[in-house]
Each structure stands twice: as structure tokens, then as C-alpha cells.
Chain A
């Protein structure tokens, strides 16, 4: 069973101290910030639950060997397509997905696929109608097509950059 190792403890301690200081000097705005932060937490809680379930199911159905096969160094085009679709379909803030990605990385997920996943998330499916309404169909189609092309290019470049250290 995995041993618990917390990440971001110093960062959180820094934020607590920062809030404590700001409360002294600017109570009203800091209280608004804290309320805003709690509101965000409340809104994204269901996404966290979804990510926990998804991570568990990935761990259950995909053994480390299979993760290596689909998302590891020999995953090829299939891995890129999975990462692209995963990015497009994933919902909520990026940091909600850090846990799952870090878990899959420990089982062999390639850095380049993480980069592709992260960039492909810029295609926001639920927001496309809104984008079309504000900026038109041509702009929406062009920018999203470029996002997907550059997500793949970014993955390729990350592959080269990250493999240099190994």
C-alpha cells in the first residue's frame, strides 16, 4: 500500500501566513478572497470526486504494463490520440488532474503525453457555443484547430527536451 507523502505543504504554510497578514492589514478584501476561494473549492469538489473514481478505475483496469503499452515510451500515435481526447474531454481546473497524472506517470506515462493532455485542455467543448456566439465560427474553428496541432507539436518538443536528461 502506498505511503502518504504530502505535496505543497510549504506552499500552503506560506498561503496561510499570507492570509493571516492580509487579514490584519486589509480585512474586507481578504475576507472576500477567502470567500471566493471557498466558493471555488465547493464548485470543484465534484470534479475531485470524479478524478478519484477515474484514477481508481484506471488503476484497477490498467495494470502498469498496460499503462506503459498505451501511454509509455512505445505508445506512438495511439498514445497521442488518447492524450488529445483525454485533454479535450477532461473538465475542471488543471490542478484537479495532477494527482491522476502523477499516479500514471509513476507507472510509465510519458512526459510528452502529459504536455499534450495539458495543452489539449484548451479546447473547451462546453464553451464552444459561447465562443462561436462571441467571436464567430471562423475564429473558433481556426483557433481550436491550431490548439490541437500545437498540442501535438508541443508533445514532440517536450519529448526531445525531457529525454535529454535521461
Chain B
């Protein structure tokens, strides 16, 4: 590696570290918020919200998925538990999708990095997409099962 290349690589690393340091306050804030949510929004609390009708359950699934956070595997386990309680596959699909694609906790951070318009448009689209995919998944499942 030439000296010039080495300098360019060093500069790239310094810029990358600086870029990361600049978002550290935001990351710490999000993690702090997730900590609070994980303590106060429990699985039992979430499962008690379901059991009305398919349409309401899908909406509840999407909203609860969006306010929850954590590893996607947790959403699978909760969804499986909900399935055992008789919650529809529409609602479960919406819940899993919202858990992994939507996150209300990330909204302030996302808008501070990508702008309010981007964040609003993307999250509204993701919300609608979740409802559509949940519906399409169950309808398509019906063709195969």
C-alpha cells in the first residue's frame, strides 16, 4: 500500500469514527427508551389486547408490533403464543411484520438523521404495507394449504 493510499484509508477511518461519534447521543437515547419499553410493555400485556375481530386484531397487531422492540425472534415467540390463544393469522402476520419493520421508538432518531418528510412518508408507507402484506399472506396461504 502506497503512503498516499494509507493516508486516504486513515482519513476514511477517522471520518467513519467521527460520523459514528456524531450519532452516539441519539443511539444512547434510543437504547435508553428501549430499556424502558422492555420493562414496562410486557408480553402478557400485549396478548391481552387481542381477541376482538380480524380487522381490529390486525390493527392492534400492527400498533403493538410498532411500539414493541427487540430481536425479531421474540415477536415470533409472542405470535406463536397468540396463535395458541386463537388470534387470527392476519393479526399475527401484521404483528410480526410491524415488530420488524416499524418502530415508534426510532422515529425521533430517524427524523433527525433523514428528515421529517422522509421519516413520515416511510413510516406511513410501512404501516400500510404491513396491513396489505398481512392480508395478502393469509390469502395466498389459503391457495396452498
Contacts and interface: CB of A to CB of B under 8 A. Distances in A.
B114 A105 contact: yes
Given A11-B26, A12-B25, 10 more contacts: A1-B18, A7-B109, A8-B23, A12-B32, A14-B29, A33-B35, A94-B106, A98-B113, A135-B76, A139-B93
Closest 4 CB pairs between A and B? A8-B26, A37-B35, A56-B16, A59-B12
Interface residues of A, number: 73
Given A4-B18, A52-B16, A150 B31 contact: no
Contact of B25 (A9, A131, A135, A138): A9
Contact of A138 (B36, B39, B114, B145): B145
A56 B9 contact: yes
Contacts of B114: 98, 101-102, 105, 111, 114
Contacts of A147: 97, 101, 133
Interface string A1-38: 11011111101101110110010000001101111111
Given A7-B23, A130-B73, A37 B34 contact: yes
A127 B72 contact: yes
B121 A56 contact: no
A37 to B, nearest CB: 3
Query: How big is the B interface, by class?
Result: 35 or more
Contacts of B117: 161-162, 165
A146 B121 CA distance: 20
B109 A111 contact: no
Main secondary structure, interface of A, reads helix
Contacts of B19: 2, 55, 99-100, 102-103
A119 interface: yes
B2 interface: no
A94 B15 CA distance: 21
Contacts of B79: 134-135
B45 interface: no
Contacts of B140: 142, 146
Contact of A5 (B12, B22, B36, B96): B22
A143 interface: yes
Interface in B1-32: 8-9, 11-32
